Amino acid sequence: MLNEKFKNHKIILASGSPRRQQFLKELDIDFEIRLKEIEEIYPNHLQAEEITDFLSKLKASAFENDLQDNEVLITSDTIVWLENKALGKPSDASQAVKMLTEMSGKTHKVITSVCIKTRQKELVFHDETLVTFAKLTLKEIEYYLNNYKPFDKAGSYGIQEWIGLVAIEKIEGSYSNVVGLPTHKLYKELMNF
């Protein structure tokens, strides 16, 4: 359905995430990938979805002068929000251990914002999912990090991996949002765009 709607447009996904790319394929959208290096820095006063909204718009702004009239750009950003602080991608293994230890036995929020941009307009929306982790031992955390190396993921984990199978007791909201793209909302917003 989306391919029909956008048959005269070119969809561009500005994400190196294989998970986001797979979701777009599964939504039956023809797209191309364009990447730009962006320093993901945001003002300290921003909270929760303000951070991901800001970063998804920042990623889109890098393409400001490159978009053609028929091009539709999609950018996205995901964070884990735990006890009023943002957990992004870990800088190293010790930070990943710290993040997973902090999340152990608690509920956190996964927030993903998406920016859809053309030369004429820009739309930003977000989704939130609550994820409850069981208590994790240090041995389990180290096993996961050593075998799955989730250093490119917000909060140091991928719900679709081993840790999702053994440690997640409950999720409230969209599963695809936790993976990194709220596909149900993206589909709706693109159909209405």
d(Cα 70, Cα 68) in Å, to the nearest integer?
Answer: 6
Q: Which residue has the tokens 């820095």?
A: 41
Nearest residue to 53 (alpha-carbon basis) of 81, 83, 18: 81
Q: How many helices (H) and strands (E) does the chain have?
A: 8, 7
Q: Per the residue annotation, which of 53, 66, 69, 77 is the catalytic one?
A: 77
Cα–Cα nearest to 185, from 126, 120, 110, 104 = 126
Q: Where are the beta strands (DSSP E) in the chain?
A: 10-13, 31-33, 71-82, 85-87, 107-117, 122-133, 168-172
Q: Is 66 a catalytic residue?
A: no
Residues known to be catalytic: 77
